[in-house]
Structure 1
Amino acid sequence: MDHEEYQFRTAAIGGFSKQDVLDYIARANQEHQTRVERLEKELSQTGEERDKFRSRVEEAEGRNVELSAQVQKLTGELEELRTELESLRTAREEAEARRAEQESAAAALAEERDGLRRDLEKAQRAAAAYERIKDRTAGIELEAHCRAQAVEDAAQIQVDKAKQEVEQWAVKVQADYDQMRTDIAATISHASGELERVRRSMAQILTQFDQRDGDLKALLQRCEEAMGPRMPDPLPLEEK
């Protein structure tokens, strides 16, 4: 209650009404007590809230320390993950390169496979055609075999005849060779006798040459003795 708005009644003998003043004081005390209790309650609540906030702050600080440790741990793990990610990225690039090579090889193999299939189809068609041709040519082969057998028999007859002629020619050549060898042996024997006679004649001629050399040397010696000592050569004239 605001005392400035409170209206006191006046007493009969001057001043304010005592009861109004007492009521005002009682009301003021009651309001003050109520306000004090409210403030004490608010103060108590404020203290509790302060304790709660302080506890929360302490918890937050502890949590902050834990979070800092977790942040450091997570930072290390993040670095490890980055390194691992880089390794995985490199491995992925290598795998993609290998995959590209494998795809290229697979494409080449597929192309080769298609080519082989086409070749196989051609071979199958050729085999079928060959079977048809084989069936048609069976009779031709039989006839050709009979003709070849006849030709072979005729050729064998000619070979036997030629063999007989060759044997006769060989006998004749052998006889001619024996006669020629006999003639050559006689010629060599005669030539050997002639060579021996020539060798003896050459030996006699060499002996005569040796004798003539001795006679010439003796003749020269006698001539030198008969002519006396040799005169010395004249001195050369001086040129003017």
Structure 2
Amino acid sequence: MEARNFKSVAFGGFDKEEVIQYIQKTAQENTEALEALQRENGSLRAENESLREQMEQSLREREDAAKKETEALREQIRALTAELDELRPQAQSYREVRSQVGDIECQARRRASELESATTMRLNALIVDVRRQYQEMSSAFSATAGQAAAELRKIEVSLTQLPRAMDQTGKKLEEIVSAVDNQKK
């Protein structure tokens, strides 16, 4: 608050009109400052809400993408399982004719074993990949949540300091009014 020297008059202390104008001007400035702070508070709250919505949208998009990818992987697993189920009867058929056709039996066993190994390897690789993607998404979510929490804490600190500033302004205004009242006496 600025220091102000008031004109004194011959009788009665300071020029009352000048003191009243000064108090009105100070009150108007404080009102404008309060309104500006309230607008800024509203703006920060809107920005916070927007950031929260963006984060939630991003998480929903990531979750949807993960669900789609998981469904695609499940479909691949179903196809591989169907392929495996289809190959198993063939392997059994080769076993049944083993006594008649030894060469066919060896070939069928080798082929079934290779297909089963390849399928198992593909399934294991898919499982490892799904786990890795899950870990990456979980880490990204944790980092994003941490950043959002830090920003919310900063906003909270700013908002908790506002009442103290308003109290200090009120006290200064009371001091001025008290000084003016004391000078009137």
The interval holding the TM-score normalised by the smaller chain is 0.3 to 0.5
| Higher normalized contact order (CA 8 Å, seq sep 6+, divided by chain length) | 2
Q: Normalising by structure 2, report the TM-score.
A: 0.34
